[in-house]
Amino acid sequence: MSKITKLLVADKINEEGLKPLRKYFQIEVRTGLTDEKLAEIIGDYEVIITRSSTALPERIIANASKLKTIARAGIGVDNIDIEAATARNIAVVNAPKGNARVTAEHTIGLMFSLMRHIPQANNELKQGIWAKSKYTGSQVFGKTLGIVGFGNVGKEVFRMANGLGMKVVVCEPYTKLSKNVSKMTFEELLKVSDAITFHVPLTYLTNSMLNLYTLKLCKKEVYIINCSRGGVVDEKAVFQALKQGQIAGLAIDVFTKEPPIDKRLLDLPNVIATPHIGGSTYESQKQSISEAVTAILQLKEGNVPSNLLNPQVFKKIRQRRLVGGFDTVIFDCDSTLSAIEGIDELAGLVGKKEAVAKLTRLAMEGKIKYVDAFEKRLALTKPKKQDLEKIGRLYMDNLLEDAKGVLEALKFLGKEIYIVSGSYTPALTFFGRNLGIPDRNIFGNDLLFDEKGNYRTFIGGPLRRNHGKLQVIRQITGRRIMVGDAVTDLESKEVVDLFIGFGGVVKREIVEKNSELFLYCRSFAPILVMAAGFEGSVELLKSKYRKYVGKGLDLLSSQKHVKAEGKLRRKLNDYKKLAYL
């Protein structure tokens, strides 16, 4: 009989939903724990279930010697240090769908209340005041709604707003958007939206993303709705904008501190607020705990749940067809599609090359975190918009020898091509457009510039582990190849069908060691053959792209140019037949 292990429930939840776990765990419900007490006892548990009241920072996770799973019975995970959990091989799951619909309903309800002055009119009517002419509102039909964040809640808001006849635009740096979604940068969205609603997690990227500067980019008398996290909106800046008439109205369900809250903000006549109840319905609370419990059981049984936030910790060997044709090829940019490192070239433009190179080296050696290196490099360079356009041109000038022809051949076969990079969006979009890659398939780091093109702030993008490249790539559909040269690219190995390490420009030992296929050459022809598969390669042999197939086959059969895992090497032998066609 298997050993019964301990599970801690640290916040108030619907305990009826825990029944499926009782077969496997000794469940202890201990709510209201202080940080000190939690740090003292957490080492006894294999699983912990939390909501928003319990924080799990690095100093507490460091004591979790037995912990295997952290389950958040809700969407937001800003109270959990995912990076610290990943470092200790602890799985983190949440309940992204449990309260998505009801939070979206609450958002739409707040928008109606805000634009039609419903709470204010109700209050005065209860006081005996018939203020019919005072509360003439604005209709939502035909208005432009800007949705910042396109996760489960953002998608529900999109669907509902479309049904109301609104024009909807979306800012989302991580998720691939369908063709019917109008994608914009944050800056573009601010400038065109009549109402803006936020549906993003609170991270260092999103903290105070609506602030004194970004508010100046908004339309005069814009409506602001926030049902995500309080810190996303700078309350002091919004307070001033409301008093000055820059914002027509504010509807909020979340606050920077809960409680207490800033009463000055609530006292303004054009502010309506609720006490963080956007996701609170009987139905959603049951569904959230059910989602979390299901994920715990899947992990217990050795399966990967769809709501696992750090799939790097899931080490079960997946059955993958390493050859046979793929639907999608995902490229990094720097030292892969292009022979240059954009950040080095940018540093050279502004006279900071030596300082930036030192930070990059420290990150590669693991002495500082990648995210810290990124922020410090950005603070040093402070790139102008025109600088990044120069980097885009440099990417094109240093394009790898046969990259353009190989990309054309991939498109000839109907393959989807993506760029997912830690570089900057203005440079990548310039580069991608010249290669015929649509903007919707390009994911980079978004920066905000003033009207003169000077750097103001970093908005977001596929940078941070557990919140960047991996989260973008896992949402791309079809059978996927990832081509990259860095550790942050290598992490996608857990979610793609084939990872190809590219050492044609810079050879990094950790990538070489852990890649299923590693290229020492500067050619992309082997990637084309792998993506095409046997049948696709036959089709290419009948086309003008024939030369790339021949070159790819020669390189794939050479141990000097290609390193392949034993199993993959054996499968590649089948491709030798193509030489006789």
At residue 415, does pLDDT exceed 50?
Answer: yes
Using 50, 70 and 90 to split pLDDT, how confident is the model at 267? very high
Using 50, 70 and 90 to split pLDDT, how confident is the model at 317? very low
Structure tokens of 458?
């970093």
Contact 241, 196 (CB under 8 A): no
What percentage of the chain carries pLDDT values higher than 70?
94
The residue whose two tokens read 């989602």 is 291
Which one is catalytic: 101, 229, 465, 467? 229
Q: Can you give the pLDDT at residue 330?
A: 96
Q: Can you give the pLDDT at residue 521?
A: 94
Q: What does the pLDDT average to over 491-512?
A: 89
Which one is catalytic: 15, 28, 258, 283? 258
Q: Can you give the pLDDT at residue 465?
A: 39
Question: Any long-range contacts for 294-301 (C-beta under 8 Å, 24+ apart)?
Answer: 295/69, 295/71, 295/93, 296/7, 296/21, 296/47, 296/49, 296/69, 296/71, 296/93, 297/20, 297/21, 297/24, 299/68, 299/69, 299/91, 299/93, 300/24
Lowest-confidence segment of 302-311, 351-360, 449-458, 476-485 by average pLDDT: 449-458
Taking the CA atoms of 563, 565, 569 and 571 in sequence, report the sign of the dihedral they define: negative
Q: Can you give the pLDDT at residue 365?
A: 66
- Determine whether 258 is an active site residue: yes
Using 50, 70 and 90 to split pLDDT, how confident is the model at 377? confident
Lowest-confidence segment of 66-70, 135-139, 147-151, 301-305 by average pLDDT: 301-305
Q: Can you give the pLDDT at residue 176?
A: 74
- Determine whether 58 is an active site residue: no
At residue 2, does pLDDT exceed 70?
Answer: no
Which one is catalytic: 72, 101, 117, 276? 276
Backbone angles phi, psi at 269, to 5 degrees: -70, -20
Q: Can you give the pLDDT at residue 460?
A: 60
At residue 467, does pLDDT exceed 50?
Answer: no
Q: Can you give the pLDDT at residue 3?
A: 64
Structural domains in the chain? 5-97+283-313 (3.40.50.720), 100-273 (3.40.50.720), 328-342+384-580 (3.40.50.1000)
pLDDT tens profile 203-262:
767 889 999 989 999 999 999 999 999 999 999 999 999 999 999 999 999 999 888 778
Contact 227, 106 (CB under 8 A): yes
Q: Can you give the pLDDT at residue 237?
A: 96
- Determine whether 361 is an active site residue: no
Q: What DSSP assignment string belongs to 462-491?
A: TTSTTTSHHHHHTTS-SSEEEEESSHHHHG
pLDDT tens profile 529-542:
999 988 899 999 99
∠ CA 194-196-198, rounded to 5°: 175
Lowest-confidence segment of 9-13, 226-230, 471-475 by average pLDDT: 471-475
Lowest-confidence segment of 440-444, 458-462, 469-473 by average pLDDT: 458-462
Alpha carbons 304 and 316: distance in angstroms, whole number: 9
At residue 458, does pLDDT exceed 90?
Answer: no
Lowest-confidence segment of 154-163, 339-348, 406-415, 442-451 by average pLDDT: 442-451
At residue 580, does pLDDT exceed 60?
Answer: no
Q: What does the pLDDT average to over 301-309?
A: 90
